[in-house]
Structure 1
Amino acid sequence: MPNKPMLVFLAANFLFVASGGLILAFALVSEREKRALPTITNVAQRILLGQCPLTSAIVNSILMFITFLISLLAVLLPNNRGWLRAHGWLVVSCACFTLGLGLSIWFGTLQTRRAMGETWAEETSITQSLLQQRFNCCGYTNSTTPPFVQDATCIDSVVAAQKGGCVTPFSDFANSYLDIIFTTAFGVVAADIILLLCTAMVLKHRQEVERFRYIDEKTGFSAF
């Protein structure tokens, strides 16, 4: 029957692999959404997801699954500490990888207005029009810089001037959307740290068991 340290380790390990599944699911769904035709509903998300390191997220999730498989070897070999040490170093690698992804997204939010302005300029007039309809605005900074796209929202220059630019609503949406993503990434790092502490606990427990077994063998109590 598993001891208490091992039960806690297993619980943390399943939380860890569930986090890896969450990252993989998000990356795959986001990749599919990026390839979908732009609409008023998804146009802003498509642009933001295009700036997220989705390929790196998939690689990160694969590394987390490999780490989980290594942990199973450590569980099945209770007297072995080598696989447990390897698992611990892999957990550290996963935590650093995920932290890097989260920090890259967080750093992007510090320059949202400038970055979104560059993105706006690179988009087609169709995408700009969808953004105008999505946020009920005209142009990026204002209706003239850059010039607005004439559509059902921005009928003419008079209406466009009254509505104002998209910089504020678009930037606010981008910040709130990306905040959720990088906060989730930091939450996954917290789960990694918990698993790392549990791994160290199990490793210490096995060291103690091995030490007492060695003492028993020297004193002759192992025969009883």
Structure 2
Amino acid sequence: MANKILLAYIGADGLFVIMGAIMLGFSVIVQNDAFTTPAEGMQAARNLFYQKFPLTAGIVNAVFIFVTFLSTVPAIITPSRAWLKISGYLVTVCAAFSLILGLYLWILTLTVKKDFAPIWIAQTPEIQSLMQTAFNCCGYFNSTSPAFVTDATCPSPAAAALMRGCATPISSFANVFVDDIFTAVFGMCGIDGVLILATACLAKDRKENERFRHIDEKSDARGTF
């Protein structure tokens, strides 16, 4: 009968490498799309927030996850506990790395309104207009701070003065999608934790098996006299 502890370890290891693939795919795709010309306001806002993401760090973390996964292969196919210990330490490093990325994204959500103001100011009138249209707002904090861009949503100073600033709706929009992302990253840390526990259980099981094997060897040796 297959060792259930080993099967659990293999399952956790599979989830671990899938997690690395997801992180790599997301980081590469977003890094390629973040600087494309947006077609509408929500895409423009999303791209601007994506440019603040630690995407390069995400790619590095994903690569390190794959390296760690490779170290688990000899831990699976050999009874030695040495590779288990090495892979366990590497998984711990991956978990810490992912946790730092998740915390960084979480901290971004705490100061979205203030941090996005200089980003808004740096954009062209065309990009600002796209965001005004998408979020039905004028200017950033209000229609005069900084000054709104004249468009169909904000056709005149009098009309713009009656509209809300874009800071609040953009902050709410950013909080929703960034919350989903850092929650997913924290979930990846949970998978790391499961693999660490599975590693500890498998190492303990192998240690017990080794102890019993030594006992049997000693018993057989005494039986020959």
Task: Sort the TM-score into its range (normalised by shorter chain).
Answer: over 0.9
Equivalent position amino acid for 2:210 in 1: E
What's the offset of the Cα at 1:170?
A: 0.4
**Aligned pair in 2 of structure 1 residues 80, 143: CA closer, same or farther (>3 Å)?**
same
Q: 1:78-117 counterparts in 2 under 5 A? A: 79-117=79-117
Write out per-residue CA displacement over residues 50-86 of structure 1, whole angstroms, 9 at most, x where no aligned residue: 1110000011111111111111111111x21111111
**Aligned pair in 2 of structure 1 residues 153, 53: CA closer, same or farther (>3 Å)?**
same
Which 4+ runs in 1 deviate beyond 6 A? 221-224
Which residue does the alignment assign to 1:123? 123
What's the offset of the Cα at 1:123?
A: 1.9
CA distance, structure 2, for counterparts of residue 61 and residue 116 of structure 1: 28
What's the offset of the Cα at 1:28?
A: 1.3
Q: 1:155-174 counterparts in 2 under 5 A? A: 155-174=155-174
Which residue does the alignment assign to 2:181? 181
| Bigger mean CA offset, 15-24 vs 28-37 | 28-37
Which residue does the alignment assign to 2:71? 70
Which residue does the alignment assign to 1:211? 211
* Unmatched segments (≥5 aa) in structure 1: none
Write out per-residue CA displacement over residues 170-197 of structure 1, whole angstroms, 9 at most, x where no aligned residue: 0100111110110000000001000100
Write out per-residue CA displacement over residues 23-48 of structure 1, whole angstroms, 9 at most, x where no aligned residue: 11111111121132122141111011
Write out per-residue CA displacement over residues 151-179 of structure 1, whole angstroms, 9 at most, x where no aligned residue: 22211112211222101100100111110
Which residue does the alignment assign to 2:47? 46
Partner SS, residue 92 of structure 1: helix
Task: Check the 8 A contact 1:213/1:222 in 2, yes or no.
Answer: no
What is the Cα-based RMSD across aligned positions, in Å? 1.6
TM-score for the superposition, normalised by structure 1? 0.95
What's the offset of the Cα at 1:22?
A: 1.0
Percent identity at matched positions? Answer: 42
* Unmatched segments (≥5 aa) in structure 2: none
CA distance, structure 1, for counterparts of residue 222 and residue 121 of structure 2: 77
TM-score for the superposition, normalised by structure 2? 0.95
Task: Check the 8 A contact 1:216/1:222 in 2, yes or no.
Answer: no
Which residue does the alignment assign to 1:191? 191
Which residue does the alignment assign to 2:59? 58
What's the offset of the Cα at 1:223?
A: 9.0
Write out per-residue CA displacement over residues 72-126 of structure 1, whole angstroms, 9 at most, x where no aligned residue: 111111x211111111001100000000000001011111111111221222222
